[in-house]
Amino acid sequence: MTTGRAPILVLFRNDLRISDNRALSSAVDAGRPVVPLFILDDDQQSSRRLGAASRWWLHHSLLALSNALEKLGSRLLIRQGSTDEIVAETVKSTGADAVFWNRRYSPSDIAADTVLKSALRADGLKAESFDGFLLHEPSQLSTRSGDFYKVFTPFYNRLSETDARDPIDTPSRIMAWDGTLRTEKLGDLKLLPGKPDWSAGFADRWHPGEAGAKARLERFLEDCLDTYAEDRNVPGVEGTSGLSPHLARGEISPVQIMAALRRRRGKGADTYRKEIAWREFSYHLLFNRPKLHSENFRPDYDSFEWQSAPSALKAWQSGRTGYPIVDAGMRELWQTGWMHNRVRMITASFLVKDLLVDWRDGEGWFWDTLVDADPANNPASWQWVAGSGADAAPYFRIFNPILQGEKFDPEGAYVRRYVPELARLPNQYVHRPFEAPASLLAQCGVVLGENYPSPLVDHSAARERALKAYRRTRGS
C-alpha cells in the first residue's frame, strides 16, 4: 500500500517494538505513509556509547524489528552518523512534513531531542514526542514541597496512587512510502563482536526482539509469578522474569507489563510491581541527576579513599577472587551477558567494600558486559550498593560472600554451574573451599591456588579496612 502524500518520519531509539508504540501508532493513525528510521549515533555527545553486550543485543533486536515492520508492509531504514544530519537529509529526500519519536529520559538525551525538535519546527515541520518508556513522566512526580523523590517508599506510594495508561493497539498495516532511500546493511553497523567472539553463550539464553519479550512475559506469568517473592533471591533457580534487556531496548513497555499484571493478586505480583517501580525510581533519579554514572549522589562520598588495585579489579572481572559466589556471578555475566540480581549485589559489594575499588569501575564493567546495561538502573544500583546513592544501603552493611552464598545458594547449584572446578565439593564447603581439609580438596580435584584461586582478601580483615575507610570519610 503506497501513496504520494508526504510521509511521517518515525525515529526508533530505545523503543524497538511495534506494539504500544505511541510514536508509530500516531503516525499510522494520521493515515499517511510512514518512514521508520533507526540511527546509530555513536558520536552523539549526549548519550553514553553502548557497551559491547548491549551492541550484540541491539543487532538482533534491529533484525527482529526490521522483520516485524516488513510483515506490516513497511521497511526499517538503518543509518549510522549524526542524528540531526540524517534526519534533515531524510526529511529532504522524502518530503516528510512531520517527525515523531518516543521520549528518552536522561537529561542529555532530552537536551539533544529538544534541539532537534526546535530545529525541525523552525523549518516548519511538525515534530512530536510521545511517552512509552516509563509508566509516568519523571517530571510529573514530585514531593509535596515540589522536590524530586530521594527515598523509594514515598516515591512508590505516589506511583501506586497514579494509574498508568492502557497499552495501545498494534497497527495491523503500515502505509509504505514509495520512494527509494539510502539505507545501510545491519552488518555495516558492526555491532557484533569480532574475534574473539565472546557472545557464543548469549544466543542460548536470549531471544532479542518483541516476540522474545512477549514469550518471556507469558512464561514468567504462567510459571514464576506466584513464587516470585521467594524465588527472586535464589540464583540457582530461574525465578525472575529476565525481561531487563527487553526493557532496556524498549521491546516491551512497562505499561504492557503492568497491564498484564492488573488482575493478578498475591505477594508475587505485588513484589514484581515493586521491582518495576524501582526501575521508575532509577529513571526519576537520572532525570534529576544527569551525572548519575560519574558523580556520587551524596557528595560526602567525594572524599572516599578508593584504592587503585588493577590486579584485584582484573581478578574480580574474570571471576577469580577465590570467593565462589562472587566468581560464579562474574562468570555468569561473562558467559550470558546477565547476572542474577542477588549476585549483582554480592559481587558489587565485594568490589567496593572488600576490595575498596571505586564503584565507577564496577559500573563501567557492568555497562560494557550486561545485555541489560541501563543508564539509570546500573549507576543507581551501583550507588545503592556503595552507599553513595539515594536511599542507599548503609556503607557499614557489608555482605559476607560466604554467608550470602550459603543462604541463597544452599545446595551450591549456582556455584557448581558457573564454577565447575568446585562442582564435586560437598555443600558444606562449596562456598568456603579454603576451609576444606586438604584430603577432601584432593579427592574433589581442587588445588587451591592452581585450578581455583585462594581468596584474594580475607573477608573479616577487608571488612574492618572498609569500615575504617568509611569512618575516615565521615570524619568520625
Ligand X SMILES: Cc1cc2nc3c(=O)[nH]c(=O)nc-3n(C[C@H](O)[C@H](O)[C@H](O)COP(=O)(O)OP(=O)(O)OC[C@H]3O[C@@H](n4cnc5c(N)ncnc54)[C@H](O)[C@@H]3O)c2cc1C
Three cell numbers at 96?
Answer: 516528510
Shortest gap between Cβ of 415 and ligand X (angstroms)? Answer: 18
Q: Does 462 bind ligand X (CB under 6 A)?
A: no
Residue 259: C-alpha distances to residues 135, 217, 456 (Å):
11, 12, 47
Shortest gap between Cβ of 17 and ligand X (angstroms)? Answer: 15
| Among the listed residues 54, 377, 388, 404, the single contact to ligand X using CB under 6 A | 377
DSSP 354: I
Residues in 151-210 at the binding interface with ligand X, rule: CB under 6 A: none
Instruction: Give CA–CA dist 138/288, Å, rounded.
Output: 9
What is the distance between the terminal CA atoms of the chain, rounded to a whole angstrom? 72
Three cell numbers at 172?
Answer: 495491523
Query: Does residue 475 come out as left (phi exceeding 0), alpha (psi in the -120 to 50 range) or beta?
Result: left
Three cell numbers at 420?
Answer: 565447575
Instruction: Give CA–CA dist 274/252, Å, rounded.
Output: 18
What is the x/- site pattern for ligand X, positions 54-73, by CB under 6 A? --------------------
Stated length of the chain: 476
161 is catalytic: no
Between residues 131 and 275, which has the closer beta carbon with respect to ligand X? 275
296 is catalytic: no
Q: Does 316 bind ligand X (CB under 6 A)?
A: no
Residues in 356-375 at the binding interface with ligand X, rule: CB under 6 A: 366, 370, 372-374
Between residues 25 and 253, which has the closer beta carbon with respect to ligand X? 253
Q: Does 50 bind ligand X (CB under 6 A)?
A: no
Specify the residue for cell string 574475534.
195
Q: Does 83 bind ligand X (CB under 6 A)?
A: no
Three cell numbers at 301?
Answer: 562520598
| Candidates 52-60, 103-111, 120-128, 341-349; binding stretch for ligand X (CB under 6 A) | 341-349
Three cell numbers at 419?
Answer: 564454577
Least Cα distance to 99 among 1, 12, 182 occurs for 12
Between residues 38 and 366, which has the closer beta carbon with respect to ligand X? 366
Beta carbons within 8 Å of 272's beta carbon, 6+ residues apart? 225, 228, 241, 261
| Among the listed residues 116, 309, 385, 441, the single contact to ligand X using CB under 6 A | 385
What are the DSSP calls for 177-233, one per residue? Answer: E-S------GGGG--S--SS-TTHHHHHH---SHHHHHHHHHHHHHHTGGGHHHHTT
| Among the listed residues 19, 378, 383, 404, the single contact to ligand X using CB under 6 A | 378
- Kindly report the number of other CB atoms within 10 A of residue 450's CB atom: 9
Between residues 102 and 241, which has the closer beta carbon with respect to ligand X? 241
367 is catalytic: no
Backbone φ, ψ for residue 435 (5° rounding): -100, -5
Q: Are 402 and 431 in contact (CB under 8 A)?
A: yes
| Among the listed residues 184, 275, 368, 421, the single contact to ligand X using CB under 6 A | 275
What are the DSSP calls for 253-301, one per residue? Answer: -HHHHHHHHTT--SHHHHHHHHHHHHHHHHHHHHHH-TTTTTS-SSGGG
Please identify which of the residues 89, 198, 238, 278 carries the catalytic annotation.
278
Shortest gap between Cβ of 442 and ligand X (angstroms)? Answer: 36
Between residues 8 and 333, which has the closer beta carbon with respect to ligand X? 333
Shortest gap between Cβ of 293 and ligand X (angstroms)? Answer: 10
101 is catalytic: no
Q: Does 256 bind ligand X (CB under 6 A)?
A: no
- Kindly report the number of other CB atoms within 10 A of residue 28's CB atom: 24
334 is catalytic: no
Instruction: Report CA 90 to chain centroid distance, whole Å.
Output: 31
Q: Does 348 bind ligand X (CB under 6 A)?
A: yes
Residues in 235-254 at the binding interface with ligand X, rule: CB under 6 A: 240-244, 247-248
Strands 34-40 and 77-80: parallel
Query: How many residues in the shown chain lie near ligand X by CB under 6 A?
Result: 27
Q: Does 269 bind ligand X (CB under 6 A)?
A: no
- Kindly report the number of other CB atoms within 10 A of residue 439's CB atom: 8
Q: Does 227 bind ligand X (CB under 6 A)?
A: no
Residue type, 137: E
382 is catalytic: yes
Q: Does 232 bind ligand X (CB under 6 A)?
A: yes
| Among the listed residues 39, 112, 345, 357, the single contact to ligand X using CB under 6 A | 345
Between residues 89 and 391, which has the closer beta carbon with respect to ligand X? 391
Shortest gap between Cβ of 272 and ligand X (angstroms)? Answer: 6
Q: Does 336 bind ligand X (CB under 6 A)?
A: no
Backbone φ, ψ for residue 126 (5° rounding): -90, 120
Which stretches of the chain bind ligand X, using CB under 6 A? 232, 240-244, 247-248, 275-276, 278-279, 282, 341, 344-345, 348, 366, 370, 372-374, 377-378, 381-382, 385
> What residues act catalytically?
275, 278, 306, 341, 359, 382
